[in-house]
Amino acid sequence: GAGVSQSPSNKVTEKGKDVELRCDPISGHTALYWYRQSLGQGLEFLIYFQGNSAPDKSGLPSDRFSAERTGGSVSTLTIQRTQQEDSAVYLCASSLAGRSSYNEQFFGPGTRLTVL
């Protein structure tokens, strides 16, 4: 399919372990976003990549969270030393160009992370 894909769809890990979540954006989309949705909450912005610009990391909740985007395409969100409060659905989105009212964000199906 031509949509945003994420892997794995589900991840169960033990507290203290590191996890990596992957996002494949729509081909040709220059902007990529990570959000998370904790139980009973709305989507919370984490990080934004646009082309070769420095990413906007203002939404990352702690220094245990980091993300990379290699070659302007695939992105990996890494959570180190996971905690139970990190349990959430992590959603990736991409858009054709940068943040504006003209660039619809297309979301992937998300990765459900459970930290035991």
Partner 1 sequence: DQQVKQNSPSLSVQEGRISILNCDYTNSMFDYFLWYKKYPAEGPTFLISISSIKDKNEDGRFTVFLNKSAKHLSLHIVPSQPGDSAVYFCAASAFGRGSQGNLIFGKGTKLSVKP
Binding region for partner 1 (CB under 8 A): 4, 35, 40-45, 48, 56, 58-59, 91, 93, 98-101, 104-110
Give whichever of 14 and 41 is closer to partner 1, judged by the CB atom. 41
- Residue 74's contacts (CB-CB under 8 Å, 6 or more residues apart) are 22, 23, 24, 25
Q: Nearer Cβ to partner 1, position 58 or 70? A: 58
Distance of closest approach, residue 74 Cβ to partner 1, in angstroms: 17
| Nearest distance, CB of residue 91 and partner 1, angstroms | 6
**Distance (Å, rounded) from C-alpha 33 to C-alpha 94?**
6
What contacts 56, CB < 8 A, 6 or more positions away? 47, 48, 50
What is d(CA 107, CA 93) in angstroms, rounded to the nearest whole number?
A: 4
CB of 16 to partner 1, least distance (A): 28
